[in-house]
Amino acid sequence: MKKIELDLVALSHAIAQNQSFAIILGEKNGPRRIPIVIGTVEAQAIALALEKMTPARPLTHDLLKNVCTEFDIELQEVIINNLIEGIFYARLVCSRQGEVVEIDSRTSDAIALAVRFGCPIFTYEFIMDQVGIVFEDPSSKANIQTVDKNTEVSRHTTEQLQTMMQEALEQEDYEKAARLRDEINKRR
């Protein structure tokens, strides 16, 4: 499968969910974006690394990076390799002395490590097809269109979108909930 490289575009508070954040990954040379809902701890870990802030004591992701560095393990890339029932799955592709090993990881932890190691993040086309959001004008968030064929949001009222978002949250379909939340916010 062909990999699609992603950039970390944004990290924001998820309005619909208490104590949750959304990370937005964007197709490196394209208009599509992937929203991923993450927890507060993971958002803090990513934000600290993005801001190049060093806490007084190492956080878990910093500790793991330090261990890898000490044992000459390099994180080459992160691959968001699957999406099952609204849950993203990721793999850490690591190398040591020429040997390459893939390690299962929560996506938020994988991204936190990718930021610390400065390594690329990839996904596959089938994931972009399922949850990608297309920006007609990449400089404007006001032109969001969902790629998901099951959710034609433009024909629904804001109240209907809020109901749909609540149902998506109850079904733990966080990606759909994030798309609906973005549409609601766009209309405000």
- Of 11-20, 140-149, 178-187, minimum mean pLDDT range: 140-149
- Of 5-9, 47-51, 88-92, 95-99, minimum mean pLDDT range: 47-51
Selected residue with higher pLDDT from 76 and 54: 76
Q: Please give the model's pTM, rounded to 2 decimal places.
A: 0.70
**Banded model confidence at residue 11, pLDDT cuts 50, 70, 90:** confident
Half-sphere exposure of 53 (CA within 13 A, CB side): 10
DSSP string, the chain: --EEEEEEEEEEE-TTSTTEEEEEEEETTSSEEEEEEEEHHHHHHHHHHHTT---SS--HHHHHHHHHHHTT-EEEEEEEEEEETTEEEEEEEEEETTEEEEEEE-HHHHHHHHHHHT--EEEEHHHHHHH-EEESSTT-GGGEEE--TT--GGGS-HHHHHHHHHHHHHTT-HHHHHHHHHHHHHH-
Would you state the pLDDT for residue 83?
95
The domains located in the chain, with CATH, are 3-187 (3.10.690.10)
**Banded model confidence at residue 145, pLDDT cuts 50, 70, 90:** very low
